[in-house]
């Protein structure tokens, strides 16, 4: 096997020595040989194709965690994964364009669109929760893991917001802000203690009875950048109704087996009790 120095490999692969060291530390592109005395890295010519693939994927701004998965797949599966990543990137770009337009309009004095929210009564219920700090991708991964663990033992009822899992945003999730976010899964009262003991890493608590204002978006999926108009639109509605939120924004995932593409989405704010003068029917 013919080996080349890290500097030569960097030149041929379009990756800097700094990037190669990082990818080695991540287990993404380890060298073919490391000198035991000097620690110097040597690479094989056969590694160039993978290195160039990594370089190209980084040009698409695909996260390293996703690239680490892609390079382990066969060609067909890797192609499908890249297509999915690009579709997500295009959706995010569209969302950023919409956010830019929204901010331009607002700064020019245009009033935010008021959402046609509704109010519903939510009973007290027992929920298993996981509170975590993290980026958007990390929260999505934790959410998928929680669904896989809890759906078999506490399946939400179709179209029912009471049994639907929900995500509470206690803080912003962005490139600079990591929440925290609380993933919540309602469980039957009679089985709550047993399930709490079965999943000791989750917190079993009671979500108190409350009213909440919500908007139903169905199968429409919102990117993170689209949440600002939602927040301000719901805020305008709450102001017009003389109501105040009693907690963080919630993403409620309503079971919809007929959709074939996952749950329906709702965004909701729990409400502080309204006095007799401001009570909304």
Helix (H) or strand (E) holding 218: strand 210-218
**Separation CA 7–CA 15 (nearest Å):** 9
Residue 276 in domain: no
Number of domains composing the chain:
3
User: How do residues 157-193 score in pLDDT, each as one tens digit?
Assistant: 999 999 999 999 888 776 667 778 999 999 999 999 9
Which range of residues forms the domain containing residue 93? 73-110
- Pairing of β 41-44 and β 33-34: antiparallel
Q: Are residues 144 and 212 in the same domain?
A: yes
Q: Is the pTM of this model over 0.85?
A: no
Q: Are residues 96 and 203 in the same domain?
A: no
Residue 182 in domain: yes
Straight-line distance from the first to the last Cα atom of the chain, in angstroms, rounded to the nearest whole number: 78
User: How do residues 31-73 score in pLDDT, each as one tens digit?
Assistant: 999 988 888 999 999 999 999 999 899 888 888 888 989 988 9
User: How do residues 182-228 score in pLDDT, each as one tens digit?
Assistant: 999 999 999 999 999 999 999 999 999 999 999 887 656 556 666 77
């Amino acid at each position: 096997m013919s080996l080349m120095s890290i500097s030569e490999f960097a030149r041929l692969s379009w990756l800097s020595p700094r990037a190669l060291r990082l990818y080695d530390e991540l287990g993404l592109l380890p060298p073919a040989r490391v000198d035991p005395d000097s620690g110097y890295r040597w690479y094989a010519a056969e590694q160039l194709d993978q290195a160039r693939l990594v370089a190209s994927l980084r040009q698409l701004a695909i996260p390293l965690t996703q690239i680490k998965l892609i390079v382990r797949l066969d060609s067909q599966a890797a192609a499908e994964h890249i297509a999915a990543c690009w579709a997500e990137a295009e959706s995010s770009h569209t969302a950023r364009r919409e956010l830019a337009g929204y901010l331009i309009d607002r700064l020019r004095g245009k009033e935010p669109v008021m959402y046609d929210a509704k109010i519903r009564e939510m009973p007290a219920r027992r929920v298993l929760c996981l509170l975590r700090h993290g980026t958007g991708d990390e929260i999505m991964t934790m959410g998928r893991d929680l669904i896989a663990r809890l759906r078999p033992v506490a399946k939400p009822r179709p179209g029912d917001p009471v049994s639907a899992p929900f995500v509470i945003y206690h803080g912003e999730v962005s490139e600079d802000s990591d929440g925290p976010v609380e993933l919540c899964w309602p469980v039957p009262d009679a089985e709550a203690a047993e399930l709490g003991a079965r999943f000791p890493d989750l917190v079993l608590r009671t979500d108190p009875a409350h009213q909440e204002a919500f908007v139903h978006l169905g199968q429409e999926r919102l990117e993170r950048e689209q949440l600002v108009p939602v927040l301000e639109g719901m805020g305008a509605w709450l102001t017009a109704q003389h109501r105040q939120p009693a907690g963080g924004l919630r993403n409620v995932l309503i079971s919809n087996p007929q959709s074939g593409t996952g749950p329906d989405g709702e965004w909701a704010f729990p409400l502080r009790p309204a006095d007799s003068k401001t009570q909304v029917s």
